[in-house]
Structure formats: structure tokens, C-alpha cells
């Protein structure tokens, strides 16, 4: 029995259905792809970074792949429906396609607006990692500090020089740090002048930077320097950390001439003694001047009491000097003594200028040594003062002590072996720093100061 004409299946009708299915499965997805290209790519092209366009192109690539895959599945479905053998058999039961354990959902242009650039970058990736060479991953700058050198002693105007390099930026914001706090900031860019070794840095791709640091506004001493470099995306790094010593403005040495006393009458062999210290320099050159002419260079001597007086100067203890002067080599009469002290930078000071009278007698005054008492003593206690005094001619010797230039106690007769001892009662002495001196006199009246010491009384 024949079917009614309206329900009969004609070969041309089947071909028409296949054509319709292919139009819907292939042509329409292609038109959708064209729409995505027209609507999305120009929009991304207006953005500043080329990496975003690349991400969009990668997204379109996977969308196209997904649409082609879906079209093939639709064709297989159409072939199954019409029973044709011209297409491989297969049935798709879902609009989602799974391949290699990665699920891909077809997207239209409007769907992309809901995704961040990071989402678009990850489309089609099985591990979510960016591809090698991806310029969207920002790295912090790196840098090199050439000047000043590590452990350098600096003063006055000091030059900073170095270079920075950033893979993504040609402009890097540079901040110089002094003890962790910003000292200066600048924008390192192509063409910035570099004072030293610029060739090596430029050839390595570094952007040079330089800065002039006025150290006169910085406290002398040890300081830590470093450079912080930051790119336009806020990534930063610190490099070039080092310690330098700011020596500050140079000052001339200071000093004091203890012996001989001003207006003293001297003869024979006497002692010239005192101290000279420089706050910035442990090395001080000393010259004894007699009537304005160099007489001699004294020998160094320890002065322990100076540690208490100059606590901020580590080398103060070793700042004493001493010289034995035979006055019989010069004409009798008044003469002028002075000390010239010069530091390593050429700054000098003249101190201790005084007049002494040389007797010209063959009798020489006594000589000896005053043992340094404790540099710090407690007020109200008794401090023992001891020493030795001898005379070249074998005459008897007496000693007397002076506190801040005023005699204390009565003259003491030195024993046969030259030793002497005096007990200083500090009950009536004010708290603070004081100067003790010992004068030795022989039986003919020739005298000499054989020692001066400083003592600080505390409560």
C-alpha cells in the first residue's frame, strides 16, 4: 500500500534535510565566529598592551576549534537521522565536548565579557600556566650600585652611580636609602648620564642613574646605603646594600702642653710632655718649636685619663707625647716653647706657647715618674699617689703635689731609693675633673715637674 504523497520520503527531501542541518551546524557557527572576530578583536586592539590581543586570539582559536568540533558532531547526528552511509557513524548527546580530559564550552562574543584577561589566557590550557615567553608575567627590576664603594670613607659631596634593568619597563623609579630611610628619588630612563663605567652597564642593557650626595648634612660615623628600584606595576627590589663611613668636615687637632710650666726656670735635662688628639684622625704629627724653630719630634706616650675626657674618640688613650730636652745645648736666658700638631689632611694647630728661662747651670734638676692614679675616683675617699724622683748629681730631693695648680700638703723628702708616696684626701675636693702634678726639687733649688695626671671625682 502506497503512502499518501504528503508523507512519502523522497531522496531530494533527505538531501534537503541534510543541507539544512549542515547550514545550521556549519554555516551558523561560522557566522557566529565572524561576529566574535568583528565584535571582540577591534575592541581589544584599542587596548594598550599587545599581550591582551594575543590572549583574545588564543581564545578565538579555541572557540573556533570547539565550533568545528560541534559542527562535525552535528553532521554525524544528521547522518544518523537520515540513515546516510556517506558520513562516519556517531551520536552526540550533549552540547559540551570532552577531549583529553579538558571540558570546553562554546562561547559567543557576549559571553567573553564575563571573563577576566587571566581567564581568557587560561582557556584551552590543561594546567592553567602561561605559555613560555609570556610577557604578561611581570618581574621586578634588578640593579647594580657602582659608587660609592663598600666600606668607603666619604665626606663632602659624594657621587652615587649605578644602573637598573627591567624586562618590561624602560623607566624605573629609583630611591636611594640612607639607613633605611629615603635620601633621594629619581626616574631612571634611557639617556640618563652615568658618571663612571657607563659603557659596561649600557652594553648589559642597564638604565644608568646618578646622584650627588652632600654628606655635610649627615652625622659622621658608620651608615648603611642601599638602592630600591620599582617598576610601573609596583614590583620593587633592593640592591647594592653596603656600609660607608662619613668622616664629616675635618677639624684641626687640639692639645695641651703639661710640661714645662709657663715662666718656669729650667736647666740641664728636663721633660717636655703633653697630649694632642684629633677627632677624625688617629694620626697626628707633632713638632716641638723652640723660639719658632723646630727643635724635635716627641715620642708617643699613653695617657689613660684621656679616655674619660674624650669618650667618643677611641684613640684618645694613645694621644700623649714626651721628650727629654737637654737645655745645656742652648744659650741661657728666656726662650719660647710651643707645639705644632698637624693631622693627615694638613689641618694644624699651634698650642702650649709659653716662655721659660734656661739657667745654664751645670746642675740639672731632678727627674722621675708619677704613677698614674685611677682615672675615676669616688669623692670623699683617700687616693694614694706614688712615684719616683732622682737627681743626677746625687743630691737630696723633695716633692710637692699640686691640685689644679695649687699646692696640697707639705713637701715630702724622697727616700734613698727615690720612692715617694702621698695620700690625697678628697673630702674637701669638688666632684668633677681635676689635674694633679708633682714637682721635684734638689738641694740647689733646681726643680722640674715629673708628672701630670687627670682624675675625675664622682659621688
- The helix/strand/coil state of 84 is coil
CA distances to 32, 55, 112, 136, 342 from 41, in Å: 14, 10, 11, 18, 79
Report the alpha-carbon distance of residue 349 to residue 347 in Å, rounded.
Answer: 7
Look at residue 216 in the predicted model and tell me its pLDDT.
84
DSSP bridge pairs for 186: 174
Of 246, 264, 293, the residue nearest 449 (C-alpha): 264
Q: What is the pTM of this model?
A: 0.39
278: exposed, middle or buried (Cβ count in 10 Å: 0-12, 13-18, 19+): buried
Domains and CATH numbers, the chain: 11-122 (no CATH), 142-246 (2.60.40.10), 250-362 (2.60.40.10), 364-459 (2.60.40.10)
Give the confidence band of 277 by pLDDT, cuts at 50, 70, 90.
very high
Q: Residue 401: is it exposed, middle or buried by C-beta count within 10 angstroms (0-12/13-18/19+)?
A: buried
Region for residue 154 given its phi and psi (left: phi exceeds 0; alpha: psi -120 to 50; beta: otherwise): beta
**Collapsed DSSP state (helix, strand, coil) of residue 365:** coil
Full DSSP string of 4-62: PTTT---HHHHHHHHHHHHIIIIIHHHHHHHHHHHHHHHHHHTSS-HHHHHHHHHHHHH
Rounded Cα distance, 383 and 385, in Å: 6
pLDDT recorded at residue 438:
94
pLDDT number for residue 240: 92
**In Å, how far from its chain's centre is CA 248?**
16
Place of cell 562574543: 109
Distant-in-sequence, close-in-space partners of 390: CB < 8 Å, separation ≥ 6: 366, 367, 368, 397, 414, 418
Which residues, 6+ apart, have CB-to-CB distance to 385 below 8 Å?
A: 370, 371, 373, 401, 421, 422, 423, 424, 436, 438
Digit-coded pLDDT (tens) for 367-389:
899 998 998 999 999 999 999 99
169's grid cell: 619597563
pLDDT in tens, 165-202: 887 777 788 999 999 999 998 887 654 333 334 444 44
Query: 69 and 24 in contact (C-beta within 8 Å)?
Result: no
In the chain, % of residues over pLDDT 90: 32
Amino acid 399: pLDDT: 95
- pLDDT for 228 beyond 50: yes
Q: Find the DSSP H helices in 212-321.
A: 306-309
Cell of 452: 701630670
Amino acid at each position: 500500500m502506497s503512502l499518501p504523497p504528503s508523507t512519502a520520503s523522497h531522496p531530494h527531501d533527505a538531501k534537503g534535510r541534510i543541507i539544512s542541518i549542515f547550514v545550521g551546524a556549519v554555516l551558523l557557527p561560522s557566522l557566529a565566529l565572524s561576529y566574535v572576530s568583528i565584535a571582540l578583536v577591534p575592541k581589544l586592539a584599542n587596548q594598550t598592551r599587545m599581550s591582551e590581543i594575543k590572549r583574545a586570539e588564543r581564545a578565538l582559536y579555541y572557540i573556533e576549534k570547539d565550533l568545528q568540533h560541534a559542527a562535525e558532531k552535528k553532521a554525524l547526528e544528521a547522518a544518523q537521522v537520515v540513515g546516510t552511509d556517506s558520513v562516519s557513524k556517531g551520536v552526540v548527546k550533549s552540547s559540551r565536548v570532552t577531549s583529553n580530559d579538558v571540558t570546553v564550552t562554546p562561547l559567543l562574543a557576549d559571553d567573553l565579557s564575563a571573563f577576566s584577561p587571566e581567564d581568557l589566557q587560561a582557556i584551552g590550557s590543561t594546567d592553567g600556566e602561561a605559555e613560555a615567553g609570556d610577557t604578561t608575567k611581570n618581574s621586578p627590576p634588578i640593579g647594580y650600585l657602582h659608587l660609592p664603594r663598600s666600606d668607603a670613607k666619604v665626606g663632602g659631596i659624594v657621587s652615587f652611580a649605578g644602573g637598573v634593568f627591567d624586562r618590561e619597563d624602560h623607566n624605573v623609579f629609583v630611591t636611594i636609602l640612607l639607613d633605611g630611610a629615603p635620601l633621594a628619588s629619581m626616574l631612571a630612563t634611557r639617556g640618563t648620564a652615568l658618571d663612571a663605567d657607563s659603557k659596561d652597564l649600557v652594553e648589559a642593557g642597564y638604565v644608568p642613574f646618578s646622584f650627588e650626595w652632600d654628606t655635610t648634612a649627615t652625622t659622621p660615623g658608620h651608615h648603611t646605603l642601599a638602592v630600591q628600584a620599582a617598576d610601573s606595576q609596583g614590583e620593587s627590589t633592593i640592591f647594592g646594600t653596603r656600609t660607608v663611613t662619613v668622616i664629616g668636615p675635618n677639624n684641626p687637632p687640639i692639645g695641651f702642653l703639661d710640661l714645662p710650666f709657663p715662666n718656669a726656670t729650667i736647666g740641664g735635662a728636663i721633660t717636655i710632655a703633653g697630649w694632642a688628639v684629633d677627632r677624625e684622625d688617629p694620626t697626628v704629627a707633632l713638632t716641638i718649636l723652640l723660639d719658632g724653630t723646630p727643635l724635635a719630634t716627641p715620642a708617643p706616650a699613653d695617657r689613660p685619663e684621656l679616655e674619660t675626657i674624650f669618650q667618643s674618640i677611641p684613640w684618645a688613650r694613645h694621644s700623649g707625647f714626651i721628650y727629654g730636652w737637654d737645655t745645656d745645648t742652648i744659650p741661657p736666658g728666656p726662650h719660647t716653647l710651643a707645639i705644632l700638631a698637624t693631622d693627615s689632611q694638613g689641618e694644624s694647630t699651634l698650642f702650649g706657647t709659653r716662655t721659660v728661662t734656661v739657667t745654664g747651670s751645670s746642675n740639672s734638676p731632678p727627674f722621675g715618674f708619677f704613677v698614674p692614679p685611677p682615672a675615676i675616683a669616688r669623692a670623699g675617699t683617700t687616693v694614694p699617689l706614688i712615684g719616683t724622683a732622682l737627681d743626677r748629681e746625687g743630691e737630696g730631693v723633695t716633692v710637692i703635689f699640686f691640685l689644679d695648680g695649687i699646692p696640697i700638703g707639705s713637701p715630702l723628702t724622697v727616700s734613698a731609693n727615690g720612692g715617694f708616696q702621698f695620700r690625697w684626701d678628697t673630702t674637701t675636693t669638688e666632684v668633677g675633673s681635676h689635674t694633679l702634678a708633682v714637682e721635684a726639687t734638689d738641694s740647689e733649688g733646681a726643680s722640674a715637674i715629673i708628672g701630670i695626671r687627670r682624675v675625675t671625682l664622682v659621688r
